[in-house]
Structure 1
Amino acid sequence: MKIDQTNIDIIRELKQGKRSFKKIADKLEITENTVRSRVNKLQEEGVLEICGLVDPDMLPGHRVVIIGIKLSEMNLVEKGEEISRLRGVIHTNVVTGRFDLLIMVMFKKEFGLLEFYTEEIAKINGVRSVETFVVYKSYNLKVPYIF
């Protein structure tokens, strides 16, 4: 699918979340049907997903952690996909640098770092080492609520 400037403008307008297609159409000077059909096509193609996001700093008892993972194997994509399905994982990235993967994980009172390592990461073969970065304060971070 070709992403043109109109698609980008629509996506930018959807950043406000509950903005109506009519208001977007009026602002961009296109028809409401054009907005609707383009949004539907962007969703069908997997380019756009409309969902509610939360600021983890505003959720009592929740914490976000970034974890760097070194693997003993070079099947980065396969391990990245496997780790992305673990409980608490918000997103997984295959990266360059001293780690093979960087993941962002959300915790809550009943599911913390210890549980994540002993119940989730322990399931993954080929993890050589991990390094944890606790996020004390984030800016502009909005994530899907996964619990």
Structure 2
Amino acid sequence: MKIDDTNINIIRELKEGKKPFKKIADKIGVTENTVRARVLKLQEEGVLEFCGLVDPEKLPGHRSVIVGIKLSETNLVEKGKEISRLKGVVSVSVVTGRYDLMVMVLFKEGFDLLEFYTNEISKIHGINSVETFVVYKSYNLKVPYIF
């Protein structure tokens, strides 16, 4: 699917949540049917997804952490997929730099860093080292609620 300026404008209008297609159409200068068809196509192609997102800082007992992982193996994509299925994992990115993977993890009361490392990360073979970055304050961070 080709992502053109109209698609980008529609996505931009939806960044704060779903809004009436008529309002979007009027603002960007296309018909309501064009917006409806484009949104449907963007969803079918996996470009756009509607979901409820939360700010972890506003949820009592919740915290977000970023974990840098250095692997002893070169199968980054496979390990990334494996780690993405662990409890608490919001996202995994294959990156450049001193880490191979950067993992965003959401914690709540009863499931914290110790449980994550001992019960989840310990299941993954081929991890050479990890470094934890506790997020004390974030801006524009919204994540799906995964618990």
Q: Same fold (TM over 0.5)?
A: yes
Offset, 1:56:
0.9
Q: Distance in 1 between matches of 2:124 and 2:18?
A: 39
TM-score scaled by length of structure 1: 0.98
Correspondence 1:50 to 2:35: no
Q: Is the 8 A contact 2:18 2:50 kept in 1?
A: no
Aligned to 1:79: 79
Aligned to 2:143: 143
Q: Distance in 1 between matches of 2:116 and 2:21?
A: 41
Offset, 1:42:
0.5
Correspondence 1:21 to 2:21: yes
Divergent runs of 4+, >6 A: none
Offset, 1:26:
1.2
Matched-pair identity in %: 77
Q: Distance in 2 between matches of 1:57 and 1:19?
A: 25
Q: Is the 8 A contact 2:69 2:128 kept in 1?
A: yes
1:75-100 CA deviation, whole Å, 9 max, x = no partner?
A: 00000011011111111011111111
Aligned to 2:103: 103
Q: Distance in 1 between matches of 2:20 and 2:120?
A: 40
- 5+ long unaligned stretches in structure 1: none
Offset, 1:110:
1.1
Q: Distance in 1 between matches of 2:16 and 2:108?
A: 27
- 5+ long unaligned stretches in structure 2: none
Q: Distance in 2 between matches of 1:138 and 1:16?
A: 17
User: C-alpha root-mean-square deviation of aligned residues, in Å?
Assistant: 0.7
TM-score scaled by length of structure 2: 0.98
Aligned to 1:32: 32
Q: Distance in 2 between matches of 1:109 and 1:14?
A: 32
Q: Distance in 2 between matches of 1:6 and 1:34?
A: 9
